[in-house]
Structure 1
C-alpha cells in the first residue's frame, strides 16, 4: 500500500502568505477620517488653556464645566501693575468678526497680562481658523466681561492679585 505524501508548505511560502494577508488587511482597513475643523478647534481650545481663563470656574471645577459655558468670559479679574483685566467673552467677540478679522486680531492684539498672547501668535493660520470655527459653532452666549480697570483703581469684584 502506497501512502500519499502530504504537501507541507515551506516556511518561506507561509511567510509570503502571512505578509500578503497583512498587506491586504492594511489596505482593506478603512483609513481614519481626518479631524474636522470643529473637532480640531475644540481640541485646541482645551489644550491651549483657553478655558482656564475664558470659561467661568473651569479651573476651580477641574475642567468639569458644561460646554455650553465654554469661552463666555469671566468676572474674575487679574490685577497687577497693569491694572485689572478680565477674560474676554470670546463667543461674543468672535460672533462680531469674520475669519479674516479674527486672524488679524489674533496676530496683532495688544493684550494685557496674564493673557499668553505669544502662544496665540505662535499658532498657525489653520489652528486659528479651527478655533474660530469651533467658537462660532457654540453661538454667541453670555455677557461681556467687565471693562478693564486702570492701575490705581480698585476693581469692583474678585481678583487674582499679582505682585
Structure 2
C-alpha cells in the first residue's frame, strides 16, 4: 500500500519543502515580489554586479545569481590607494533599511565606486536594492580592507595612473 503512494508522498514532501523555502525567503525580505524584481533589475542595469560580483564582467554577466554581490578580491589602485568591491550581501545583512539609506547618501566615496550614481537614485530605488540584496541572504567573505596610498595591495589590482 505504501509503495503505491510513494510518488504522492514524495511530491507532497517536495511541495512542503518548496513552501517552506518560499516562506523563509518572504520572511527574510518582507518585501513584495515587485520590489524584489525592481531591486534585481536595478542591480543589473546600474552595474553593481560589474564590480561587486566576482567574474561578472569578464563572463558577460553569466554568473550564477547565488554569487551576486558577494564582493571581489580584485583591487582598484590609484593615487587614493587600493579599494576593493565590498561584499554587499554581508554589508546589508548588518544594516537596517534606514541605515542603508543613510550610508548610500553619506558614505565617503573612494574611486572607482560611482557614488554619484547611487546618490542620484530615489529612495524607492535604494529600498528596492536593499530588499533584493537582503533577499539573497548573507554569503561569501568580506573583501580585503582598503589599502592607503603607499601600502602593498593584497592580490591582483587594476591600476589607474
Which TM-score band applies after superposition, normalised by the shorter structure? 0.7 to 0.9
The whole-number CA distance in structure 2 between the counterparts of 1:88 and 1:67 is 17
SS at match of 1:128: helix
SS at match of 2:144: coil
Q: Which residue of 2 aligns with 1:4?
A: none
Q: Which residue of 2 aligns with 1:40?
A: 38
Q: Which residue of 1 aligns with 2:21?
A: none
Q: Please identify the structure whose Cα radius of gyration is greater.
A: 1
Q: How far has the Cα of 1:156 moved from its partner?
A: 2.4
TM-score (norm 1): 0.78
Q: Which residue of 1 aligns with 2:81?
A: 83
Residue correspondence of structure 1 range 5-154 to structure 2 within 5 A: 36-154=34-152
TM-score (norm 2): 0.79
Q: How many matched pairs? A: 130
For structure 2, list consecutive stretches of 5 or more residues without a partner in the other structure. Answer: 1-31
The whole-number CA distance in structure 1 between the counterparts of 2:94 and 2:60 is 30
